[in-house]
Amino acid sequence: MVQEKHNGKVFNNLKQHALTAISYLIPVVVSGGFMLALGSLLGGSTIASIKDPYNFFDVMYTMGGLVLGMLPVVIGTGIAFSIADKPGIAPGFLVGMISINMNAGFIGGFIGGYIAGYLTKFLKDKLKVPAWAEGLKPMLIIPFISSLAIGLIMYFILGIPIATLTDALNNFLRGLDTSQKLMFGLIVGVLSAVDYGGPINKVVFAFLLSLQSDGINEPMAVLMLASMVTPFGMTMAYFFQKVFHKNIYTRMEVETLKTAFPMGVCMITEGCYPIIFNDLWRCILSTGIGAGVGGALSMIWNVGSPVPHGGLFAMITMTNPIQWFVALMIGSLVVAVILFILKKPVDIDEVKEIQAKDEKDVDFSELKIS
């Protein structure tokens, strides 16, 4: 039992450091993705030399590419900083730069960030210096030693295997045929949706960011869709309730939908939590199936999103945005139909009282935004 608690604590610490780094990463990816996509849509291209003529759209395209090319640096620095505070910034930054240099990509920055962070923390805790050098310890000595160490580790031990793994993964995904794309999209869709922004979603998100940093944008479009089918599908089910005269929502749940739907347009799932936790397993089943169907269609139709967030507002940056929207609507419709069939008819007033009583036992402390 003690060992299980220890393992759980270690895992939670690792997860927390990754989530901290991802929280730093999202604004970078969104801004860079929008600049790159808008520049591309309007005819921009990479500025090879400032001596060549260029226009506003070339500048946007180039800036977006530069930002997205630094993702290994952002994730490596974020993780190392989360673990070791300021002394972890230099080694974390370096491990990201080395990952770019060795083509180890996002995975190299991700793994290397943990090594750089824990190595720096070890030096902070264990390294003893003379009293006169204490001021130099966090500013010079520890960053220098840890940067040197992580550089040697990446170049001589980890960098080449990670680069090989990254290349193999990218080649595999680019070589998927239609049937494989269907299965891949279905799996990513289900995993992205069933815990409504919890740890499974975050692991998938980190993995898809690694693909996105190498120019593979189709899986990220699946995750975005899967994060939106819940509010869209639940809203559709409300209209089924009107048409077929089967009341599946309480008055309070109907009020919840009035905020959940606009939040869903922005790719935020948390507005649906009051409905989800009143009927958890039926919601999980309907959401998983709908997200899987929508994700499979999105992959088959080769929809790609260079931006990992933004909901409907990110459609202008996508390849094949109409197909993505159709996949979103189909997946949401599947959620609505299954939820409407599975949910039992309710008496508004009775369920309202029971719901208010049950809600006292619900702990919202672990809820995350999808």
Query: Last residue of a domain, which of 127, 151, 171?
Result: 171
- The predicted model scores a pTM of 0.68
Neighbour-count burial for 231-255, b at 16+ CB within 10 Å, e otherwise? bbbbbbbbebbeeeeebbbbebbee
Instruction: Answer positive or negative: Cα dihedral of 13, 15, 16, 21.
Output: positive
Mean pLDDT of the chain: 83
Whether residues 336 and 309 share a domain: the answer is yes
Q: Hunting for tokens 């036992």 — which residue is that?
A: 361
Backbone angles phi, psi at 304, to 5 degrees: -130, 145
Give residue-wise pLDDT tens across range 1-38. Answer: 555 555 557 767 887 888 788 778 778 877 887 787 78
Question: pLDDT digits over 162-185, tens only?
Answer: 888 888 877 776 776 767 888 889
Q: Of 126, 156, 171, which one is at a domain's C-terminal end?
A: 171
Residue 325's pLDDT band (cuts 50, 70, 90): very high
What is the pLDDT at residue 70? 87
Residues 187 and 64 reside in one and the same domain = no
Residues 230 and 326 grouped into a single domain: yes
Q: Summarize the confidence of residues 229-244 as an average pLDDT.
A: 90
Structural domain tally of the chain? 2
For residue 207, the enclosing domain spans: 178-361
| 93 and 216 within one domain | no
Q: Are residues 164 and 39 in the same domain?
A: yes
291 with 327: CB under 8 angstroms?
A: no
Average pLDDT over residues 206-235: 86
Q: Average the pLDDT over each of 50-64, 173-187, 279-293 and give the range with the smallest value.
A: 173-187
- Whether residue 359 contacts residue 256, with contact meaning beta carbons closer than 8 Å, is answered with no
Q: Is the pLDDT of residue 203 over 80?
A: no
Q: What is the pLDDT, as a whole number, of residue 1?
A: 54
Q: What is the pLDDT of residue 73?
A: 92
**Higher local confidence (pLDDT), 191 or 323:** 323
Quick one: pLDDT at residue 198?
67
Instruction: Give the pLDDT score at 2.
Output: 52
Q: Mind listing the pLDDT tens digit for each residue in 61-106?
A: 889 888 888 888 998 999 999 999 999 999 999 999 999 999 888 8
Q: How confident is the model at residue 369 (pLDDT cuts 50, 70, 90)?
A: very low
Answer yes or no: do 158 and 17 share one domain.
yes
* Band of residue 298 on the pLDDT scale cut at 50, 70, 90: very high
Number of H helices, E strands in the chain: 16, 0
b/e map 64-86, b = 16+ CB within 10 Å: bbebbebbbbbbbbbbbbbbbee
Q: Does residue 324 or residue 356 have the better pLDDT?
A: 324
Task: Indicate if 21 and 133 belong to the same structural domain.
Answer: yes
Predicted local distance difference test score (pLDDT) of residue 295: 93
| Residues 332 and 294: beta-carbon distance below 8 Å | yes
**Do 10 and 158 belong to one domain?**
yes
pLDDT value at residue 134: 78
